[in-house]
Amino acid sequence: MEFHHVERRFGDNVVLKDIDFAIEAGKFYTLLGPSGSGKTTILRLIAGFNSPTSGEIDFDGKRINDVPANRRQVNTVFQDYALFPHMNVAENVAFGLQIKGVGKQETAKRVKEALHLVQLDGYGEREITEMSGGQRQRVAIARALVNRPKLLLLDEALSALDHKLRVEMQTELRQLQRQLGITFIFVTHDQEEALAMSDQIMIINDGTIQQSGTPVDIYDEPLNHFVADFIGESNIVPGIMKADYLVTIDGQDFECVDAGMRPNERVEVVIRPEDLDITTVEKGQLAVTVDTQLFRGVDYQITAHDQRNHEWKINSIHKTTVGATVGLAFDPEDIHVMRYNESEEDFDARLDSYEEDE
């Protein structure tokens, strides 16, 4: 599955700009972005409910721009499940097979298998209205999978479930994908969900792909302010890159692991809250005053400000006192430097250039 310079407009409104990506078979992809970012539009283009204004969509090496939804080897799990209310569970699952003219016995067998796959054995005769949210979700997945698609699309498929069920379904979906080897494309605005399930994440905002990569890459090396802010929590402060491996924040020099920029280039520095350790003022690299402290079960969420009034978010397992001045300690590896307006290719090239030297 490949997108080549795909653009989609609704009237004057450009929803997707120059989208370009390739999807490998058998992996779990996530399109992650805030609402209105264009991620669902990409999904609709893949499913065939919309066609691109310009550009080309290829599937198995063939152009499928004008192939209607019903002739694509792609199935979708809809956000609201879109189960047919006038059919029972088994009839819903059998729908796709019936349309294709699969024989009765074969259909019954495959419906049974599909329901087994989503742990709904014996639920075939139930009406949709008798099923809970989580069960409906499973029926929707079974209804899509029974057709043995090459590509399964999931549109915010878990967002209607409560937290506990959602986490359960995340694990199950991931297992299901590994077991079947079908390519999954999952759309979500929930970054935790994306990090937990995906092989590859594509971060979408304003109709463009901001960054794509493995969950670890994206978390550790966000490309720009948007990605850093959207994925996880972060402290983003302006800085100046004095030289390779040396960055200045608030006039204070720090050793870091980034390089390949112009001397004295203005940059942004990202430090994750969980990488900051609270220590005494003498031991810390930065002195901050604690403003608030929230207990969250696993840790404390602390906000503090430094002398320049930059706000710092800190996640710490140790308690501190509001109003106290403490030191913040962090390692050079915890500092991640982002250049302004760097494209993804340049970013990758720069990383490769100095990581090879090491």
Binding residues vs other proteins (CB under 8 A): 47-49, 68-71, 74-76, 78-80, 82-86, 95-96, 99-100, 125, 127, 143-144, 147
- In 3D, which of 67, 73, 72, 49 has the Cα closest to residue 182? 73
Cβ closest to other proteins, residue 17 vs residue 148: 148
Cβ closest to other proteins, residue 129 vs residue 179: 129
Instruction: Kindly state the helix (H) or strand (E) to which residue 167 belongs, with its residue range.
Output: helix 163-180
Cβ 213 to other proteins shortest distance, Å: 29
Report how far residue 27's alpha carbon sits from residue 154's, in angstroms, rounded to the nearest whole number.
14
Cβ closest to other proteins, residue 49 vs residue 340: 49
Cβ 81 to other proteins shortest distance, Å: 8
Are 208 and 19 a contacting pair, CB within 8 Å? yes
Report how far residue 152's alpha carbon sits from residue 332's, in angstroms, rounded to the nearest whole number.
41
Report how far residue 221's alpha carbon sits from residue 225's, in angstroms, rounded to the nearest whole number.
11
Cβ closest to other proteins, residue 143 vs residue 272: 143
Cβ 75 to other proteins shortest distance, Å: 6
Report how far residue 93's alpha carbon sits from residue 137's, in angstroms, rounded to the nearest whole number.
12
Cβ 41 to other proteins shortest distance, Å: 14
Cβ closest to other proteins, residue 86 vs residue 164: 86
Cβ 174 to other proteins shortest distance, Å: 23
Report how far residue 277's alpha carbon sits from residue 280's, in angstroms, rounded to the nearest whole number.
10
- In 3D, which of 226, 214, 208 has the Cα closest to residue 3? 208
For 96, what's the count of Cα atoms within 13 Å in the CB-facing half-sphere?
Answer: 23
